């Protein structure tokens, strides 16, 4: 895969995808149909929902942490006459979760989140600086603040916007023509890179996939996280392009680390292979605009 030089970045450190989106060969792994399908009680497992980890196998016991759906954990066993399984992270016991919240690592993964690549001319100014951080996934309306006054403003699908902050579950965005507009985060896709394709003619498919392998507080931490990931997962992943992009919470923002491009089967195989090494992996569907 050819990776074009990164443009000067004013807000985020984001890589650029510039090769055919589906040419990277998937990493082979056992993706489906392995043993212990359902809810294995010992070994590598993934969580099939967000769960509270409790200090003992009892619904009334103290919650020690929350873990998200898709998290890779080690199952240490299920105490007799209970429906709870003891789990661990990093080789240490962390507590108990409902046994039915655990799935085999070989189960087919679902898409956990979405992102976008945007045409170079729409994403960057002539000098290479970024126009924004997100693209609007569909037509939407939001509250714009202009000259100290609020007004309802309509935006079209594909609009490129820059993230200012997240407050009260709303994303405050900006653009060349809008100083500030509040939009629901679920209407926005983070931009992970650019493309040079004309989709009016022949070209690669508009959708590909990436494997998300971490979440960090800053872009610098995410960049260092890629180095740590290669050291833990193996050098076979180093040739892939890695993506660093903002992820919005209710009142906060973190930075996700992913790599690709991959096809749908390939990304599932990659996630299974990483889970076998006790590494987290979530599937990201990436759409081209």
| Residue 173 resides in a domain | no
60 with 96, same domain? yes
Q: Is 38 left (phi over 0), alpha (psi -120 to 50) or beta?
A: left
- For residues 200 and 152, give the distance between their C-alpha atoms in angstroms, rounded to a whole number: 32
The terminus-to-terminus CA distance of the chain in angstroms comes to 21
Given a cut of 80, is residue 144 above it in pLDDT?
A: yes
Given a cut of 90, is residue 273 above it in pLDDT?
A: yes
99 with 201, same domain? no
For residues 88, 89, 91 and 93, what is the CA-based torsion angle, rounded to 10 degrees?
A: -40
94 with 196, same domain? no
CATH label of the domain that carries residue 48: 2.30.30.170
126 with 207, same domain? yes
210 with 231, same domain? yes
250 with 274, same domain? yes
| Residue 157 resides in a domain | no
Enclosing domain of residue 5? 1-26+108-137+188-289
- pTM of the full predicted structure? 0.80
The overall average pLDDT reported for the chain is 83
CATH label of the domain that carries residue 289: 3.30.70.1070
* pLDDT for position 5: 32
Number of domains in the chain: 2
254 with 282, same domain? yes
Give me the residues paired with residue 65 across strands: 53
| Residue 98 resides in a domain | yes
The string of pLDDT tens digits covering residues 23-48 is: 343 444 333 334 334 444 688 999 99
The string of pLDDT tens digits covering residues 187-225 is: 999 999 888 766 555 555 578 999 999 999 999 999 999
246 with 195, same domain? yes
Which residue's structure tokens are 């970045």?
9
From residue 116, give the alpha-carbon distance in Å to each of 23, 89, 185, 276.
18, 32, 14, 29
- For residues 92 and 3, give the distance between their C-alpha atoms in angstroms, rounded to a whole number: 39
């Amino acid at each position: 895969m050819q990776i074009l030089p990164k443009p000067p970045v004013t807000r985020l450190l984001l890589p650029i995808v510039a090769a055919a989106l589906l040419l990277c060969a998937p990493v082979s792994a056992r993706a489906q149909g392995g043993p212990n399908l359902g809810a294995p009680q010992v070994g590598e497992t993934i969580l099939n929902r967000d769960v509270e980890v409790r200090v003992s196998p009892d619904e009334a016991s103290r919650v020690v942490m929350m873990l998200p759906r898709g998290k890779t954990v080690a199952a240490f066993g299920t105490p007799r006459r209970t429906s709870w399984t003891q789990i661990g992270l990093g080789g240490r016991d962390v507590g108990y979760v409902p046994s039915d919240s655990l799935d085999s690592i070989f189960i087919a993964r679902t898409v956990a989140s979405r992102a976008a690549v945007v045409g170079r001319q729409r994403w960057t100014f002539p000098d290479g600086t970024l126009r924004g951080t997100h693209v609007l996934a569909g037509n939407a309306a939001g509250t714009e603040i202009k000259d100290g006054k609020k007004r309802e403003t309509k935006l079209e699908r594909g609009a490129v916007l820059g993230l200012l902050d997240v407050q009260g579950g709303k994303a405050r965005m900006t653009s060349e023509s809008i100083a500030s507009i509040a939009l629901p985060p679920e209407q926005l896709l983070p931009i992970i890179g650019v493309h040079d394709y004309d989709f009016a003619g022949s070209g690669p498919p508009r959708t590909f996939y990436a494997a998300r392998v971490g979440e960090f507080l800053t872009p610098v931490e995410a960049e260092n996280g890629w180095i740590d990931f290669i050291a833990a997962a193996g050098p076979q992943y180093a040739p892939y392009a890695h993506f660093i992009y903002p992820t919005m919470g209710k009142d906060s923002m973190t930075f996700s680390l992913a790599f690709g491009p991959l096809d749908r089967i390939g990304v599932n195989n990659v996630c299974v292979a990483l889970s076998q090494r006790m590494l987290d992996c979530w599937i990201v569907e990436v759409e081209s605009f």
